[in-house]
Amino acid sequence: MAAIKVHGSVMSTATQRVLVCLYEKELEFEFVPVDMKSGAHKQEPFLSLNVSVKQRSLALFISVIVILFFL
């Protein structure tokens, strides 16, 4: 099991940015799909993991922060 877990949807451009960064850095990670159509991102356990729910002003920048962390 990888130490890095990416929760998201492959259709999300934010998720895609993070995945591209991890692939380019050749880091091992586990992708955990979140079904946005069914509203899974608005239910537990995802809500407790989602920083943007706690800090709405950060919602657009989380993927960029993750990418900067790995640079």
Q: Is the pLDDT of residue 5 over 80?
A: yes
Q: Domain 4-70 sits in which CATH superfamily?
A: Glutaredoxin (3.40.30.10)
Q: What is the pLDDT of residues 20-67, one digit of tens each?
A: 999 999 999 999 888 877 766 667 777 776 665 555 555 556 777 777
Contacts of 62 (CB under 8 A, 6+ apart): 14, 51, 52
Entry pTM:
0.66
pLDDT the model gives residue 9: 86
Q: Is the pLDDT of residue 71 over 90?
A: no
Average pLDDT, the chain: 77
